[in-house]
Every structure is written in C-alpha cells, then in structure tokens.
Amino acid sequence: MKYYEVKFTIQGPQELHQEACDVLSALAAEAGFESFEDTPEGVTGYVQQSLFDREALQQIVDGFPLPDQRIGFSVSEAEDRDWNEQWEQEGFEPIVVGDRCIVHDGRHVPASVPNVPISIEIDARLAFGTGTHETTRMMLQALLDLPLQGARVLDCGTGTGILAIGALKMGAKEAVAYDIDEWSADNARHNAVINRVDSRLTVLLGDASLLYKEVEGEFDVVVANINRNILLADMPAFRRRMKPGATLLLSGFYRSDIPMLAERAATLGLTPTAESHDGDWACLALRERASE
C-alpha cells in the first residue's frame, strides 16, 4: 500500500507551537491521516494515497482555528524502502510496559531485565507498531490488566502484530489478526514466527469486511489501534464478533475524541469501563452494557 508523506510547517508564536501541532494532527486525522511525527518545523503526517484529498487538506490549512498560526505543507511519496533501511539499521530501544512486558527489536536487549516475564520481539521495518508510540504502550498495558488466560483475541489493523502477539504471550489461547496492508500482514506473520506463537495466530489480509465474510466465531477481547474515523466506521463489525461480556479495547485517537467514540459505542450497546491517557493520546475499554 502506497502512502504520501506530508510535511507541515507551522509559523507563529513559539508558546503556541505544540498546541498548534496537536490541533493540526487532530484535524488531519479527521481527513484520513494515520500517523504523525513532530518535527522542529511542525508535523509530518502519513496518509494512504487512495485516501488523500488535497482540497480537504487545503481547507484545514485555510481555516486553521488558532490565531496567528501560518500553516504550509508539501507532499511527497513515502517510500517503504527508505523506511525499511532506517529501521533495519537503527532499530529501537527496548520499551518496558507495566514492569511486566518488554518490547525489543532483538538487537537492543539489556543483558538483564529483572522481573519482566513477558518478552516481545518485533522485527519492524516501519515505525508503526513497535511499542514506541503512546497508543501501542497504552494498549499493551490494557491487555496486561485483562484476564487473558485461555482467551480468544481479535486484532483489527494489526500492523506488526504486536498486540496479538502480546496477548498470546500474556496467556491468550488463540488470536486472529488482519490488516489492509499486505506488507503489514506479512510482517505480522514473520513476527509471530520469531516469537514462536505462529501456530496460534492467524493473520488475514483485508479490512473489517473480513469480519462479515471470513472470520468465524466470537472473541473474548477485540483490540483496534487505528485512527478515529476508521474506528467509528468499523465499530459495528467489531461488535459483531464480541462474545457476551467481551472487552473492546480502542486507541489511535485523542482525548477529545472520547465522547464521540463513546456515543457511537452506546448505539451498539457498549459502555466505557476504563480509559487511560498518555499526553493527548487516549485508550478506551468498552464492554456490553448491563441489562437494566
């Protein structure tokens, strides 16, 4: 799947720079952008080429709500090869989540990590799904807080497979994962092999329509770390595959998005049971609303 890399520049009062970056990222996410990186000049965003709408983006820039902020942007094709080379050469530093789980690239593992029983190795050639992002860390922490022993887990938009693999290492019996990106699906299968959970993880290529056609049965836990608009659109499909009493874990959105997601969940008979925050990012746990 091909992506555009859009480099945003922000000029204005320095004391408002971070706020402007956050607002711009939130608005761009509504226009289909999936990932962002802060830069000294502003923000770099990534969007699927098939979803890119230059006119909509220009409207965001022209109508930017913060005063005295001038936004510019340039668009180029994001090349997987360049990203691959960077991550293959540099990797990432280990991330410890909840003092019980460490995520590493197989090369930067500390000689000794006391009292961290769960080790997840991620061979990531792209910067998505390594545990370095706030949303991934929050989702792993939320999984650590669930009773996963013997559970069946569904991972929607799996990326590197980190959440499905993590759930299996935390005690889940079986996991099914899918991603719309062929490279990501292949990478998730590869990571399942190096973590020795490939016999219990099925990775499919496609979007949420798979939940109506190919995925069978119900799940104890459904996880989705995707952008807000996709979560809103796909939540009915997630709900379809939840067992009675199952938990739905969502991230990939901002704190300000929680009311909108909770409202959508309510129409499906789901209610929030927990939420967590890391900076402006949020994670939401939902379960079936108890009968009155």
pTM of the model: 0.73
Q: Give residue 189's pLDDT band: very low, low, confident or very high (50, 70, 90).
A: very high
What is the average per-residue pLDDT within 100-118? 72
CA distances from 271 to 144, 174, 261, 280 (A): 20, 25, 10, 22
Query: What is the structure's pLDDT at 107?
Result: 66
Exposure pattern of 215-238 as b/e (b: 16+ CB <10 Å)?
beeebbbbbbbbbbbbbbebbebb
User: Running DSSP on this structure, what letter comes out for residue 117?
Assistant: -
Q: Is the pLDDT score of 283 beyond 60?
A: yes
Contact 248, 239 (CB under 8 A): yes
Contact 135, 252 (CB under 8 A): yes
What is the average per-residue pLDDT within 211-220? 95
Q: What are phi and psi of 113, to 5 degrees?
A: -125, 95
Q: Give residue 133's pLDDT band: very low, low, confident or very high (50, 70, 90).
A: confident
Query: What is the structure's pLDDT at 184?
Result: 83
User: Between 75 and 128, where is the model more confident?
Assistant: 75
CA distances from 28 to 23, 83, 123 (A): 9, 22, 29
Alpha-carbon distance 190 to 93, whole Å? 20
Residue 106 CB partners (closer than 8 Å, separation 6+) = 91, 121, 123, 194
Alpha-carbon distance 68 to 73, whole Å? 17
- Considering the chain, what is the average pLDDT of its residues? 87
Q: Is the pLDDT score of 83 beyond 50?
A: no
Residue 196 CA to chain centroid, in angstroms? 23
Alpha-carbon distance 163 to 183, whole Å? 17
Closest Cα to residue 257, out of 281, 273, 233?
281
Q: Give residue 194's pLDDT band: very low, low, confident or very high (50, 70, 90).
A: very high
Residue 180 burial (10 A CB sphere; 0-12, 13-18, 19+) = middle
Q: Strand runs (DSSP E) across 12-123, as ranges?
A: 35-38, 42-48, 70-78, 95-97, 101-104, 118-121
Contact 148, 221 (CB under 8 A): yes
Alpha-carbon distance 236 to 234, whole Å? 6
DSSP 169-230: HTT-SEEEEEES-HHHHHHHHHHHHHTT-TTTEEEEES-TTHHHHT--S-EEEEEEE--HHH
Q: Give residue 109's pLDDT band: very low, low, confident or very high (50, 70, 90).
A: low
